[in-house]
Amino acid sequence: MGLYEELSARKANGVRLLLEDLSVDDLRRMFIDEQIFDWKIADLYDVKKSKIAYLRKKHGITIRSSILNDFLSGKTEQAI
């Protein structure tokens, strides 16, 4: 089970998720690793999508930076 599913289950059980408790690593994990859209993350925390987009950009969490980091660290597959 991914982080997004865990948080969704907690919210469904009545736990109020606070944006202040969302760490940069958790945001990165959901957006990059789990490929969760901004609007879905925003829905979890009851904030606007633009707030999540702002936080991602503030901390450099973008698809472009993820691809670049993977390339520089040698995580990409070589084409045959």
* Residue-level pLDDT at 15: 95
Please classify residue 13 by burial: count the beta carbons closer than 10 Å to its beta carbon, then call 0-12 exposed, 13-18 middle and 19+ buried.
Answer: exposed
What's the pLDDT band for 79 if we cut at 50, 70, 90? very low
For the entire predicted model, the pTM comes to 0.80
* pLDDT one-digit tens code per residue, 9-32: 999 999 999 999 999 999 999 999
Nearest Cα to Cα of residue 59 among 21, 34, 23, 12: 23
CA-to-CA distance for 55 and 20, rounded, in angstroms? 11
Summary mean pLDDT of the chain? 88
Q: What is the C-alpha separation between 10 and 18, in angstroms, rounded?
A: 12
CA pair distance 38, 27, nearest whole angstrom:
10
